[in-house]
C-alpha cells in the first residue's frame, strides 16, 4: 500500500477557497468549467467503480471560516475504465493524484457544477477487478446555510459570540464537504482526521484513537475507522461543547454534547438515549455495531435531528430539557426525536438503494417512535401524537399533487422534496396498519429477518415485503432462530384463533402493500348496512372538482370493525371495488377502522352517521378515544368532498361538550378552528365571531374545570395547556383575567416568579398583547437559556396584535442575531396564522424569497412549510390570483417546479369551493343551535 502523504503538507499547500462555480448553459452535451466537453451525461453516477474506503483529513479554520482537506479513496473497479466520476460541490480542487505502486501520477480534473460532478481522467485504464487509490486535495468556505460543513454560533450569557463548525450531509451535501461518491448505494468505510485548535474539541462518528501535536500549536485527532456506511451519515463537529456520559447495559458509551451553559439541560436526553438503545438492541436482536453514540445539540440546525451513525445531531429545542421549565409536551418531543434517530437499524445498517425509497428509513423511524416510546415511556402516551400524524399525512395525501410513498426522484431538489409527510408520516401509518394486519409478533419477526439478511446493504421495498412473507415456510425456518420457531409453533397450535384471520398461502404482502406504496392517495371506504348485510365500496378520497382524477385506484384494505353487538375486533380484507360482508345479527351501529389503525377514511351511508351521532350523544365512551377522534376527522373531511352535509358534521360535534379525552378534544379543535380561520382572511366578522363563540361554548365546561397548575397525568397536562391557551386566544373572560393577572405578577417580579409550566403559553400570549408586555417578553427571550421557554415566548410574541412588533420580529429573524435564523420559518408561519399579521407574513415571504431558498435550500421541507403555512387559509379567488402571480414569476432554478407550490394552489382552490358551498349552511346551523350551546 502507498503510504498516506503528509496531511499537513497538502493542507498547507492547498489553494484558498474560491467563489462558487458558475452554472453552464443548456448545451447539447455537458460542458465542464474549463470549456471542454464533460464525459458523463447523467445525474446519477456510473457504476464502473465504487469506493471501499475513505481516508479523510480536514482542517476547519473557525477564524477565517473556511476549511481545507485531503481525501484518499480506495476504489474497486467493476469495468475497465479510464474515467472516474464522483461528486464535489462549490470547492476548489488543489491536487488530484492516482496512487499506484510505481508512484503517484497526476490526474486531469474536469468539473460540471450543474450535477455537482468531477471527472478524473486517467492516461491508462483501470482494470476490472483491481483496486486503486485516488487522492484529492480540496478547500472551500464553511457554508453559511444549514447543510454541508457549515458555521454555527451562539452567544454566551456574557454576550460573547462563539463559533463552531458542524455537518449536515443528508441528502446530497457530503459532496459540499469533501469529494465523494455521494449516493446512498456507494457504501464505504471512513477513517477521519480533524485538525483543530487546542481550545476546541472534535467529535465524529467513531471514538478518537489518538491526538497528534502539529507545528503551530494545532492538534490532529485521529478517529477509528467506521463500519461500512453511506456518505450522508458521515458527521464531524469542531466546537467548545461539554458533555455528559453513561453506558448502556451492553457497554455502549452514550454522550450528550451541548454548549457549556446548557449542559445542565441534558439529563433527560442522556437517560432516554440509554433506555432507547437498550430497547432497540433487544427488539431487533442485533447489537448496536459501534462502541459509542453521541448526541449533539447544535445552536443552528435546520431540521429536528439527524441520525448520523455514532454522532446524531439535534436542534437544541429537540434535545435540551429543563425539568423545572419544560412541559410534558417538551418531554415527549425530546424522547420521541431520540427514538426516531436511534432507530438506526433502518437507514444506517440497512439503507434504501435510492432516495425514491426514503420511506424505508424515515417511515420506519417514525413508526418506531410509536413502538419504542410506548414500551420505554408509557406515561407519555405517544399514541395520541401518532394518530395526529396520520391525519396530517392524509391532509397532504388528499391533494391531486400528492405522490406515492415510493416515487421516482432524480435531482437534488426532487430528493429534498421526499422529506415530507408522505415519506415520514404516511410511511409510518401504513407500517402500523401492516403490523396490525400481520399481528405484532409476525411483524417483529419479519423485520428482524429483513435487518439481519440485508445488514450493511442497500434495499428496495420489495425486499421488505419478501421478509414479511412466508414466515413459517419450512424453506425459511433456520435452526437457531428461536423466536420465529416459537411463533410458528404457536401459530400452528392456534390456527383458528381470532387474530389469525388469513393463511400463509393466501397472504401476499407485496401485492397488498404495493397498493399503498406505488400509488398516491388513500381510500375512502363507504359502508352501507341493510339488515345483516354490509355493503362495502372503495374509491380514492381526493379534494378536487375533477372526478376523473379519482378513477383507476384500487387498494387491498385490511378493514377492522366493531359493532353494537360485539366489542371483538372483526377483520375483512377488501381487495375489490365492492364487496359484501354478513353480520351474525342485525346491529344498531358499527364502527370501521378500529382505533384508526388503518390508513383510510370511512363514510357511513344511509342512516349510518345518524346512528353514530346518537351513540356519541348518549354513550360516547363505548368507543375508544381514538375511535371518537377518527369519527370527528372523517365526518368533517367528508363534508369537503360532498359526501356528508355540514349540518351532520356539526351535529356530531355537539357531543364534544361532554368529551374529556385529549385526542378527541384536540381533533374537535382541529376540525372546527379552520372554519373560522378561513373567515379571518375575509370581511365577515359576524359569522366568524359566531363560529368562535360556538367553539368556546362547546368546550366552556371543560375549560372551567382546568386547574392553573401542573398536576395530573401527561395527557391531562397537555390538554390543560391546550384548553387554557385556546380560551385566552378566544378572549374567554375567566382565562383572560387569570392569565393577565399571572403575567402582571410575573413581570412585577422581574420574571423570577415561578409560573406553572402548563399555563405559561397562555400567560405569555396575554402578556404579548401590550407594547410593555411584549418588550418584557422579548428581553426575557433574549437572555433565557431555557430553549423550551424561549420557544413559547417566540410563539406568543409572533401572535401579538401589535403589527409593528410583528414586522420587527420578522426582520430580526432574517438577521439571525438575537433571534436565530433557524427560527425564522416558525416565526413566519405563526405570524401568518395571526389575524393581525397574515398579510405581513405573505409580503415578507415574497420580499425575502431568494434569501430563504438560499439559506434553507430549494425543495426542503422547511421551504414547503413556509409556502403552505402562509397560504393554506386563503379562500378567495383574488388571493389565489395573487399567489399564482408570485409563484408563476419564478424560474425552475428559484422554485417554480416545487410540489409545495402546486399543493398551495390546490389547497386554496379547495378552500374556495368549501366557502362557496357551505357558508349559508353554516350560518343557518349556528343560528338554529345558538340557544342549545350554553
Going by the annotation, the residues of the binding site are 340, 362
C-alpha cell of residue 513: 402493500
The residue with cell 474497486 is 76
Helices (H) and strands (E) in the chain, counts: 30, 29
- The DSSP output letter for 422 is I
CA dihedral 810, 813, 815, 818 (to 10 degrees): 120
B/e letters for 65-98, b = 16+ CB within 10 Å, e = fewer, are: bbbbbbbbbbbbbeeebebbbbbbbbbbbbbbbb
444 catalytically annotated: no
Grid cell digits, residue 311: 454522532
* Neighbouring C-alpha atoms within 13 Å toward the C-beta of 510: 10
Which among 341, 395, 520, 688 is annotated as catalytic?
341
* 71: nearest Cα among 169, 133, 137: 137
Alpha-helical runs (H) found in 713-802: 714-729, 733-748, 760-767, 771-783, 787-798
What is d(CA 371, CA 383) in angstroms, rounded to the nearest whole number? 9
Neighbouring residues of 298: CB distance < 8 A, sequence distance ≥ 6: 152, 164, 166, 237, 313, 314, 315, 316
CB-based burial label for 183 (10 Å; 0-12, 13-18, 19+): buried
Give dist(CA 270, CA 257) in Å, integer.
10
CA distance 642 to 649: 12
**What cell was used for 744?**
402582571
Q: Which residues pair with 895 in a beta bridge?
A: none
Nearest to 302 by CA among 454, 478, 448, 150: 150
Instruction: Return binding residues for Zn(2+).
Output: 340, 362
- Which grid cell is 737? 383575567
In the β-sheet with 523-530, what is the strand arrangement from edge to edge?
Answer: 578-582, 533-540, 523-530, 601-604
What does the block give as the cell for 246?
Answer: 453513561
Task: Report the distance separating Cα 662 and Cα 652, nearest Å.
Answer: 17
CA-wise closest residue to 246 among 225, 220, 272, 218: 272
> Which residues contact residue 608 at a Cβ distance below 8 angstroms, ignoring those fewer than 6 apart?
527, 528, 529, 589
Catalytic positions are 341
Amino acid at each position: 500500500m502507498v503510504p498516506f502523504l503528509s496531511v499537513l503538507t497538502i493542507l498547507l499547500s492547498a489553494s484558498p477557497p474560491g467563489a462558487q462555480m458558475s452554472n453552464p448553459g443548456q448545451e447539447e452535451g455537458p460542458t465542464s468549467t474549463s470549456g471542454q466537453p464533460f464525459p458523463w451525461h447523467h445525474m446519477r453516477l456510473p457504476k464502473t467503480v465504487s469506493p471501499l474506503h475513505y481516508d479523510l483529513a480536514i482542517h476547519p479554520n473557525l477564524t477565517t471560516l473556511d476549511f481545507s482537506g485531503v481525501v484518499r479513496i480506495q476504489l474497486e473497479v467493476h469495468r475497465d475504465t479510464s474515467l472516474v466520476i464522483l461528486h464535489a460541490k462549490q470547492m476548489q480542487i488543489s491536487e488530484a493524484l492516482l496512487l499506484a505502486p510505481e508512484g503517484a501520477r497526476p490526474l486531469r480534473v474536469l468539473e460540471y457544477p450543474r450535477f455537482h460532478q468531477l471527472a478524473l481522467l486517467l492516461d491508462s485504464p483501470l482494470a476490472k477487478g483491481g483496486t486503486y487509490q485516488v487522492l484529492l486535495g480540496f478547500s472551500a468556505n464553511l457554508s453559511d446555510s444549514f447543510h454541508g460543513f457549515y458555521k454555527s454560533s451562539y452567544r454566551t450569557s456574557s454576550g460573547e459570540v462563539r463559533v463552531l463548525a458542524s455537518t449536515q450531509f443528508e441528502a446530497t451535501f457530503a459532496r459540499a464537504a469533501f469529494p465523494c461518491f455521494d449516493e446512498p448505494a456507494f457504501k464505504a468505510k471512513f477513517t477521519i482526521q480533524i485538525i483543530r485548535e487546542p481550545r476546541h474539541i472534535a467529535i465524529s462518528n467513531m471514538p478518537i484513537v489518538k491526538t497528534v501535536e502539529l507545528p503551530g500549536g494545532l492538534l490532529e485527532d485521529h478517529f477509528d475507522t467506521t463500519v461500512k456506511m453511506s456518505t450522508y451519515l458521515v458527521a464531524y463537529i469542531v466546537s467548545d461543547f461539554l458533555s455528559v456520559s453513561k453506558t448502556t447495559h451492553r457497554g455502549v458509551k452514550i454522550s450528550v454534547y451541548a454548549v457549556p451553559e446548557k449542559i445542565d439541560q441534558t439529563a433527560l436526553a442522556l437517560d432516554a438515549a440509554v433506555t432507547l438503545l437498550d430497547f432497540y438492541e433487544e427488539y431487533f436482536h442485533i447489537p448496536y455495531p459501534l462502541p459509542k453514540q453521541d448526541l449533539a445539540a447544535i445552536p443552528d440546525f435546520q431540521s429536528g435531528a439527524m441520525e448520523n451513525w455514532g454522532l446524531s445531531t439535534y436542534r437544541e429545542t429537540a434535545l435540551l430539557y429543563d425539568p423545572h421549565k419544560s412541559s410534558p409536551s417538551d418531554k415527549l418531543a425530546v424522547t420521541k426525536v431520540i427514538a426516531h434517530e436511534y432507530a438506526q437499524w433502518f437507514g444506517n445498517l440497512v439503507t434504501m438503494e435510492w432516495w425514491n425509497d426514503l420511506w424505508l428509513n424515515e417511515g420506519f423511524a417514525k413508526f418506531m417512535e410509536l413502538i419504542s416510546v410506548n414500551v420505554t415511556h408509557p406515561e407519555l402516551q405517544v399514541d395520541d401524537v401518532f394518530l395526529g400524524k396520520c391525519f396530517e399525512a392524509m391532509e397532504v395525501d388528499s391533494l391531486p399533487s400528492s405522490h406515492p410513498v415510493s416515487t421516482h426522484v432524480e435531482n437534488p431538489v426532487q430528493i429534498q422534496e421526499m422529506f415530507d409527510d408522505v415519506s415520514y408520516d404516511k410511511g409510518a401509518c401504513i407500517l402500523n396498519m401492516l403490523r396490525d394486519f400481520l399481528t405484532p409478533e409476525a411483524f417483529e419477526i419479519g423485520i428482524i429477518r429483513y435487518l439481519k439478511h440485508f445488514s450493511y446493504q442497500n434495499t428496495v421495498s420489495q425486499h421488505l415485503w419478501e421478509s414479511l412473507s412466508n414466515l413459517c415456510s419450512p424453506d425459511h425456518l433456520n435452526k437457531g432462530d428461536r423466536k420465529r420457531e416459537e411463533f410458528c409453533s404457536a401459530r400452528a397450535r392456534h390456527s383458528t384463533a381470532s387474530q389469525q384471520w388469513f393463511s400463509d398461502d393466501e397472504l401476499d404482502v407485496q401485492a397488498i402493500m404495493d397498493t399503498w406504496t406505488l400509488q398516491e392517495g388513500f381510500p375512502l371506504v363507504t359502508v352501507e348496512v341493510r339488515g345483516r348485510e354490509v355493503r362495502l365500496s372503495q374509491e380514492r378520497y381526493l379534494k378536487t372538482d375533477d372526478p376523473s382524477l379519482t378513477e383507476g385506484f384500487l387498494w387491498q384494505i385490511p378493514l377492522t370493525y366493531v359493532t353494537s353487538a360485539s366489542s371483538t375486533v372483526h377483520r375483512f380484507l377488501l381487495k375489490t371495488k365492492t364487496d359484501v360482508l354478513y353480520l351474525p345479527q342485525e346491529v344498531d351501529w358499527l364502527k370501521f377502522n378500529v382505533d384508526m389503525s388503518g390508513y383510510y377514511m370511512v363514510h357511513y351511508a344511509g342512516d349510518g352517521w345518524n346512528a353514530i351521532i346518537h351513540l356519541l350523544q348518549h354513550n360516547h365512551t363505548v368507543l375508544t378515544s381514538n375511535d371518537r377522534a377518527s369519527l370527528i376527522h372523517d365526518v368533517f373531511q367528508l363534508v369537503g368532498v360532498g359526501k356528508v352535509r355540514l349540518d351532520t358534521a356539526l351535529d356530531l360535534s355537539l357531543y364534544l361538550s361532554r368529551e374529556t379525552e385529549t385526542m378527541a378534544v384536540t381533533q374537535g379543535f382541529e376540525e372546527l378552528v379552520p372554519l373560522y380561520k378561513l373567515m379571518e382572511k375575509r370581511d365577515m366578522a359576524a359569522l366568524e365571531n359566531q363560529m368562535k363563540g360556538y367553539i368556546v361554548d362547546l368546550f366552556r365546561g371543560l375549560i372551567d374545570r382546568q386547574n392553573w397548575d401542573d398536576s395530573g397525568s401527561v395527557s391531562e397536562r397537555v390538554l390543560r395547556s391546550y384548553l387554557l391557551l385556546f380560551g385566552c386566544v378566544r378572549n374567554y373572560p375567566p382565562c383572560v383575567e387569570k392569565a393577565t393577572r399571572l403575567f402582571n405578577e410575573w413581570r412585577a417580579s422581574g420574571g423570577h416568579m415561578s409560573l406553572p409550566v402548563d399555563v405559561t403559553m397562555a400567560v405569555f400570549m396575554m402578556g404579548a398583547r401590550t407594547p410593555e408586555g411584549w418588550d418584557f417578553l422579548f428581553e426575557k427571550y433574549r437572555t433565557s437559556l431555557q430553549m423550551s421557554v424561549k420557544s413559547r415566548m417566540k410563539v406568543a410574541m409572533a401572535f401579538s396584535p401589535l403589527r409593528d412588533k410583528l414586522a420587527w420580529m420578522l426582520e430580526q429573524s432574517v438577521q439571525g442575531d438575537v433571534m436565530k435564523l433557524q427560527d425564522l420559518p416558525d416565526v413566519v408561519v405563526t405570524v401568518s396564522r395571526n389575524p393581525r399579521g397574515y398579510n405581513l407574513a405573505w409580503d415578507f415571504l415574497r420580499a425575502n424569497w431568494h434569501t430563504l431558498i438560499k439559506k434553507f435550500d430549494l425543495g426542503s421541507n422547511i421551504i414547503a412549510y413556509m409556502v403552505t403555512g402562509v397560504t393554506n387559509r386563503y379562500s378567495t379567488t383574488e388571493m389565489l390570483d395573487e399567489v399564482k402571480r408570485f409563484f408563476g414569476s419564478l424560474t425552475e432554478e428559484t422554485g417554480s417546479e416545487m410540489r409545495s407550490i402546486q399543493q398551495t394552489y390546490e389547497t386554496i382552490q379547495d378552500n374556495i369551493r368549501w366557502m362557496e358551498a357551505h357558508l349559508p349552511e353554516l350560518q343557518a346551523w349556528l343560528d338554529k343551535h345558538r340557544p342549545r350551546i350554553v
